[in-house]
């Protein structure tokens, strides 16, 4: 990433409708998982930086349309992006974009001819939209946005909690192309009294209660109508991988990606909040100003997780690198504002005693990553602790200590990078 923000030269991929139809026809025809067997392939190991962090690094092609990934779970697939990928691209390549599913039996192919997105419930005109119509009858929207799992970095939460033990790679930045949800709602005509939108996907719920456990997420109508929430049919200028929600997924910029429903097939306009498992039992955070609480605290009111917090990361140099005393060291990485634009990134070379402003790379919009860069000269030999902190437009900044909640959600502590000057 480092030649004078060479990532600035990355042209935002232009989305071609022709390619979509071509690729979608291919994908619709083939059962993508046919012939893929995990055990048949050799895998290297990787050590994530927490206790019990050993994982398989699976080679490209182990999962369809996916490159080398960190294996967190096979079924349903939980694949983490190797950290080195974030150093090479400000947009995360589709084939190394992380993957997270909840149901073991999600569809392994989608028939693009019969695929429909239905808008139902409190509308004047219920809709059944085909992919062709979605592509041709609505204006194209494009937006850079970070898709981050609520549980990203859960492996660093202290005390540790249950759930996938991700390091920092359960996130990715992409240019999403598709249609603003507002367009569909306008066409359907929302009736008076409507307050919420439920989003449902192609996969079934889990036995023995498939109806109760189906993957349904709910947003306020006002939020869904804000012109930013969108139905994406392309990602970084290409059809999105099946594992990332082909053919259409919801994009909720600035919100944790539990709301970014993949393989979206129904939007119900409702006059009440969500009552399903995924809104009332899972993905809840303490109703406190930070979304954190004291471990073991009783009687805390819980609410659905929502807006993302600011974060920043080092990609350069590597952790524990040896640098030469008296010579400037270039440091840098990526940062995001979370639910609002990034305001600034601060860098410290002395364990947080002094902070300097980092310079920022190209701005692709409030919800994407920005590259940051700073430099310092170690005047003495010995150990250094570098730190980086993002501050967003609302003045929200990363805390020194990671906060805690029972789900291990929204971890965003300031990153520390040890260095040795010799």
Ligand X SMILES: Nc1nc2c(c(=O)[nH]1)N[C@H]1C(S)=C(S)[C@@H](COP(=O)(O)O)O[C@H]1N2
Tokens of 312: 């920043």
Q: For 254, how many CA atoms within 13 A lie in the half-sphere containing its CB?
A: 16
Asked if 261 touches ligand X (CB under 6 A), the answer is yes
Q: In this complex, which beta carbon is closest to ligand X, that of residue 246 or of residue 384?
A: 246
Region of 54-62, 82-90, 91-99, 318-326 interacting with ligand X (CB under 6 A): 91-99
Which DSSP string corresponds to 112-158?
Answer: TTT-EEEEEESBSS-EEEEHHHHHHSS--EEEEEEEE-TTTTGGG-S
Q: Tell me which of 15, 91, 98, 376 binds ligand X, using CB under 6 A.
A: 98
Residue 420 backbone phi and psi in degrees, to 5: -115, 120
Handedness of CA 280, 285, 289, 294 (dihedral sign): positive
If you ran DSSP here, which 8-state letter would residue 242 be given?
G
| 245, interface contact from ligand X, Mo ion, none, CB < 5-8 Å by kind | ligand X
Q: In this complex, which beta carbon is closest to ligand X, that of residue 261 or of residue 279?
A: 261
Region of 29-37, 255-263, 314-322, 370-378 interacting with ligand X (CB under 6 A): 255-263
Residues 142-161 binding Mo ion (CB under 5 A) are 149-150
Separation CA 322–CA 318 (nearest Å): 9
Asked if 199 touches ligand X (CB under 6 A), the answer is no
In angstroms, the first-to-last Cα distance of the chain is 25
Tokens of 201: 């996907």
Asked if 284 touches ligand X (CB under 6 A), the answer is no
Q: Tell me which of 96, 165, 258, 315 binds ligand X, using CB under 6 A.
A: 258
- Residue 224, classed as helix, strand or coil, is helix
> Could you tell me the smallest distance in angstroms from the CB atom of residue 336 to Mo ion?
16
CA nearest to 391, candidates 357, 350, 416, 348? 357
Q: Give the count of residues interacting with ligand X (CB under 6 A).
A: 19
Residues 225-244 binding ligand X (CB under 6 A) are 244
Asked if 257 touches ligand X (CB under 6 A), the answer is yes
Q: Which residues bind ligand X (CB under 6 A)?
A: 97-102, 147, 149, 201, 203, 215, 244-245, 257-258, 260-263
Q: Which residues bind Mo ion (CB under 5 A)?
A: 100, 149-150, 258
């Amino acid at each position: 990433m480092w030649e004078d923000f060479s990532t600035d030269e990355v042209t935002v991929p232009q989305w071609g409708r022709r390619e979509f139809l071509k690729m979608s026809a291919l994908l619709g025809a083939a059962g993508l998982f046919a012939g893929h067997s995990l055990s048949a392939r050799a895998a290297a190991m990787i050590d994530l930086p927490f206790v019990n962090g050993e994982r398989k690094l699976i080679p490209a092609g182990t999962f369809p349309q996916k490159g080398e990934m960190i294996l967190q779970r096979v079924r349903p697939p939980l694949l983490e992006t190797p950290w080195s990928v974030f150093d090479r691209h400000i947009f995360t390549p589709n084939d190394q974009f992380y993957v997270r599913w909840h149901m073991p039996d999600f569809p392994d192919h989608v028939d693009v001819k019969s695929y429909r997105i239905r808008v139902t419930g409190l509308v004047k005109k219920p809709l059944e939209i085909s992919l062709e119509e979605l592509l041709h009858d609505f204006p194209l929207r494009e937006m850079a946005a970070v898709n981050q799992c609520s549980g990203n970095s859960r492996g660093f939460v202290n005390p540790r909690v249950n759930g996938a033990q991700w390091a920092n790679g359960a996130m990715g930045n992409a240019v999403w192309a598709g249609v603003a949800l507002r367009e569909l709602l306008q066409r359907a005509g929302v009736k008076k009294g409507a307050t919420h939108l439920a989003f449902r996907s192609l996969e079934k719920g889990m036995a023995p209660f498939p109806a109760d456990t189906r993957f349904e997420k709910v947003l306020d109508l006002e939020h869904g109508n804000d012109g930013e929430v969108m139905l994406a049919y392309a990602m970084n200028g290409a059809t999105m991988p099946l594992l990332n929600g082909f053919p259409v997924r919801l994009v909720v910029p600035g919100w944790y990606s539990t709301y970014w429903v993949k393989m979206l097939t129904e939007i119900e306009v409702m006059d009440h909040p969500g009552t399903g498992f995924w809104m009332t039992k899972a993905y809840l955070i303490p109703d406190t100003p930070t979304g954190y609480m004291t471990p073991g605290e009783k009687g805390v009111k819980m609410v659905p997780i929502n807006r993302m917090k600011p974060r920043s990361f080092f990609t350069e140099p590597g952790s524990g690198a040896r640098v030469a005393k008296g010579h400037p060291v270039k440091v840098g990485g990526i940062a995001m504002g979370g639910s609002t634009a990034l305001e600034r990134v601060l860098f410290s070379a002395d364990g947080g005693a002094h902070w300097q402003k980092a310079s920022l790379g190209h701005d692709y919009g409030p919800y994407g990553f920005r590259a940051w860069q700073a430099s310092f000269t170690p005047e003495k030999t010995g150990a250094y602790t570098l730190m980086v902190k993002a501050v967003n437009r609302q003045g929200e900044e990363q805390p020194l200590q990671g906060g805690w909640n029972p789900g291990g959600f929204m971890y965003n502590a300031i990153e520390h990078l040890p260095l040795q000057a010799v």
